[in-house]
Amino acid sequence: MPRPILATIHPAALQHNLQRCRSAAPDAKVWAVVKANAYGHGIERVYESLRSADGFALLDLDEAQRVRDLGWRGPILLLEGVFEPRDLELCSRLGLWHTVHCDAQIDMLAAHKTTVPHRVFLKMNSGMNRLGFTPQQYRSAWSRLNALAQVDEISLMTHFSDADGERGIAHQMQLFASVTGDLPGERSLSNSAATLRHTRAANAAPDEQAVACDWIRPGIVLYGSAPDHPLHTSADWELRPGMTLASKLIATQAIDTGASVGYGSTFVADRPMHIGVVACGYADGYPRVAPTGTPVLVGGVRSRVVGRVSMDMITVDLTPLARAGVAAGIGSEVTLWGQASNGAVLGIDEVAHAAGTLGYELMCALALRVPVQVGG
């Protein structure tokens, strides 16, 4: 028998979450962001569920090739644009749209020989200070692009630094609007957090604080994680987990008061208790820093990790199961995140929060050795 750990991708949940984005921004087209191998879910595994999006956005050229290989004929956007001149040949061949965020990329385009002009997304650095032209440089970059025979349509984009937090997006939106006001072309501004928190509802009164744009760029919500956890949970946003990571108990231990569990003896029992040993560790992508108290479902009952996460195993408290009258032993189902077979849900954000990180990092870190199935 294989080691009992298994990740399951949930097609119906992905479809539902995509629909949530559409209803949050009913007038916008949707880039389904599938970078980082669809946030660890696997591009090939999510493709069927997300193909009702208007386009796929990603940043590795080989991932763009994989989306084309799946038969996708619609738009694909390279979120960081090209890295070297020969990438433009692939853009021409595969019909990829690409971000232009710096002069070097315009130079490459100007030197590129192509019979097919490219659709580009000109990126403004409106305050994030990673990629993009400053507001001062933006219009001259637009004019330079507009004069190139290699360029077809120019769309306008920027990225928010605080869509999930207190500062919000108004300061960046105002800057973007003041510079791009009269430029033609489609706009793309919102990531997941801006889509859920700051998009203008259909038919709502004009609102300075809300984004209206032609293309939204949701990533994390598609996979069922709340972009602004713990302010809101995935349940608050009516999202469903796109992935379940499950395993089983492979051993149990009955320990006495004063006994410790795991490396470093960081957990010491203050009463006699039963401990379950789970076939999942940091080599599977479970965060090593998850402390005692990190939530976990055993037999669909909420419990906690105790002691240190090791490479191949974690140890969990079986006390809540005894209290709930649920028998636990070797073979009992353990849900690290996602949905248990009794329907109980443990949000990936809760686990991430306990470990001091985000759902994003956990899903992207799912290890290669974990088998993955689609469905269920």
Rounded CA-CA distance 56/290 in Å is 33
189 contacts 211 by C-beta, under 8 angstroms: yes
Q: By C-alpha distance, which of 76, 130, 133, 122 is closest to 99?
A: 122
**Based on the number of CB atoms within 10 Å of its own CB, is 373 exposed (0-12), middle (13-18) or buried (19 or more)?**
exposed
Q: By C-alpha distance, which of 4, 2, 7 is closest to 337?
A: 7
Q: Indicate which single residue of 42, 55, 185, 227 sits in contact with ligand PLP (rule: CB under 6 A).
A: 227
Residues in contact with ligand PLP, counted by CB under 6 A, come to a total of 11
Q: How far is the CB of 293 from ligand PLP (least distance, A)?
A: 27
Q: How far is CA 204 from the centre of its chain?
A: 29
Q: How far is CA 193 from CA 21, 24, 255, 285, in A?
A: 10, 11, 45, 25
Could you tell me which stretch among 103-111, 217-225, 278-286, 344-352 binds ligand PLP (CB under 6 A)?
Answer: 217-225
Residue 195 phi, psi dihedral angles, 5° rounding: -65, -45
Q: How far is CA 313 from the centre of its chain?
A: 26
Q: Around 45, how many Cα atoms within 13 Å sit in the side-chain half-sphere?
A: 21
Q: Indicate which single residue of 220, 243, 279, 370 sits in contact with ligand PLP (rule: CB under 6 A).
A: 220
What residues numbered 4-43 form the site for ligand PLP, per CB under 6 A? 33, 35
Q: Which positions are annotated as active-site residues? A: 35, 263
> Nearer Cβ to ligand PLP, position 81 or 338?
81
Q: How far is the CB of 79 from ligand PLP (least distance, A)?
A: 4
Q: By C-alpha distance, which of 361, 278, 273, 360 is closest to 320?
A: 273
> Nearer Cβ to ligand PLP, position 79 or 249?
79
123 contacts 80 by C-beta, under 8 angstroms: no
Could you tell me which stretch among 167-175, 197-205, 215-223, 242-250 binds ligand PLP (CB under 6 A)?
Answer: 215-223
Give me 31's structure tokens. Answer: 């880039």
Rounded CA-CA distance 177/155 in Å is 14
What residues numbered 177-206 form the site for ligand PLP, per CB under 6 A? 191-192
Q: How many CB atoms lie within 10 A of CB 64?
A: 27
> Nearer Cβ to ligand PLP, position 15 or 192?
192
Q: How far is the CB of 202 from ligand PLP (least distance, A)?
A: 21
What residues numbered 55-94 form the site for ligand PLP, per CB under 6 A? 79
Rounded CA-CA distance 140/157 in Å is 15
Q: How far is the CB of 193 from ligand PLP (least distance, A)?
A: 6
> Nearer Cβ to ligand PLP, position 88 or 226?
226
Site for ligand PLP contains 262 (CB under 6 A): no
Site for ligand PLP contains 124 (CB under 6 A): no
Could you tell me which stretch among 107-115, 135-143, 211-219, 256-264 binds ligand PLP (CB under 6 A)?
Answer: 211-219
Site for ligand PLP contains 217 (CB under 6 A): yes
Rounded CA-CA distance 318/304 in Å is 8
> Nearer Cβ to ligand PLP, position 124 or 297?
124
Q: Indicate which single residue of 218, 242, 262, 338 sits in contact with ligand PLP (rule: CB under 6 A).
A: 218
> Nearer Cβ to ligand PLP, position 38 or 141?
38
Q: Around 342, how many Cα atoms within 13 Å sit in the side-chain half-sphere?
A: 13
362 contacts 338 by C-beta, under 8 angstroms: no
Site for ligand PLP contains 53 (CB under 6 A): no
Site for ligand PLP contains 159 (CB under 6 A): yes
Q: How far is the CB of 32 from ligand PLP (least distance, A)?
A: 10
> Nearer Cβ to ligand PLP, position 35 or 187?
35
Q: How far is the CB of 170 from ligand PLP (least distance, A)?
A: 18
Which letter, b or e, does each residue of 344-355 get, where b requires 16 or more Cβ atoms within 10 Å of its Cβ?
Answer: ebbbbbbbbbbb
Q: How far is the CB of 157 from ligand PLP (least distance, A)?
A: 7
Please report, as ranges, the residues that interact with ligand PLP according to CB under 6 A.
Answer: 33, 35, 79, 159, 191-192, 217-220, 227
